[in-house]
Structure formats: structure tokens, C-alpha cells
Amino acid sequence: MSEKNNNLSSKCVVLVPLERIDAAKDIAQKYELNAIFEHHPTLAMAEICLLQKAMSNSKAWSEDSPSPHLLLVHISKMQDTEVMVDAIRKYLPNVRISELRNGRLEPFENHGAVVDMLEDPPIIHSEAIDADELSMLLDPSHQEVKEE
């Protein structure tokens, strides 16, 4: 790999809207990428899976098998891109994801995604417990008084 492509895998999938395919081809040529161009996130995901499988099969006995690369070009108006990126990060964590920003390939950061879907833990305010109540709760030998 040359220094020009910033050590990116030469095999990659480029997700780009059909109307911007020329820009994607220029980027692939500039960075010397062997690119597969797709215009829909589902198709790009399928190609990434196929490329991952092919790369892992070709380097089955090598410790440092290459991983595919996903390049996102002008995807701001595409639907389901965030879902695809989340799925790739979950199921194919070795896939590198980059995007075209200001004419350069930069690591993709999903700023719009919710990092943690969990809410903050609830804060429970209880009434003050006096020392007798606390000792009753902590001392297992303490017997409750039976009411008749």
C-alpha cells in the first residue's frame, strides 16, 4: 500500500448517491482504491459482508488478514445509513469506515447517533432512617415483634 492512501485497504466499498458517482470515482482514483460503488446502504452492507468473507478466506492462515474498507461519500441525505453503520460496527468491527470530508478521507464519526439508549438511573429519595431502624435491617438475629 502506498503512503498516498493513508494505509487504507485497497479493496473498498463506496456508498454514494447516484447523482454524486463522479465525485466518488475521482476519490477512488486519487487514493488508488479498488472500489465497488453502491448507491443504497443495504447493497453496500451486502458488498462489505462479501468482501469481508473473501478477504478472510484468502488469508485464513495469516494473523494479519486485511479488512475491508467502507467509504461514505455525500451520504447526508441518504436514509438508513446510520442503521448500516451501527450494524457494521456491531457485527463487523474490523471494517474501517471513512467518509469524504473537505476533499480528504477522514474516519467516520456518527455524531447523530445516540451513544447510550439507557436513561440515567433513577434517584430514589427515601425518608431518613434512624439508628434503630438501620440496626434492625442489618442485624439478622433481630426478631420482629409479632402482633396479636
Ordered domains of the chain (ranges, CATH): 8-107 (3.40.50)
Mind listing the pLDDT tens digit of every residue in the chain (148 residues)? 333 444 455 688 999 998 988 888 888 888 888 899 999 999 999 999 998 888 877 766 666 667 788 999 888 878 888 888 888 888 888 888 888 877 777 788 754 444 444 455 556 666 777 777 777 777 767 555 555 5
- Residue 121, pLDDT score: 54
pLDDT at 111: 47
Dihedral (CA of 22, 26, 31, 33) sign = positive
- pLDDT at position 142 is 57
Q: What is the pLDDT of residue 100?
A: 82
pLDDT at 116: 43
Helix axes 41-58, 81-91, angle to 10 degrees: 20
Give me the helices (H) in 1-148, please: 21-30, 41-58, 81-91, 131-138
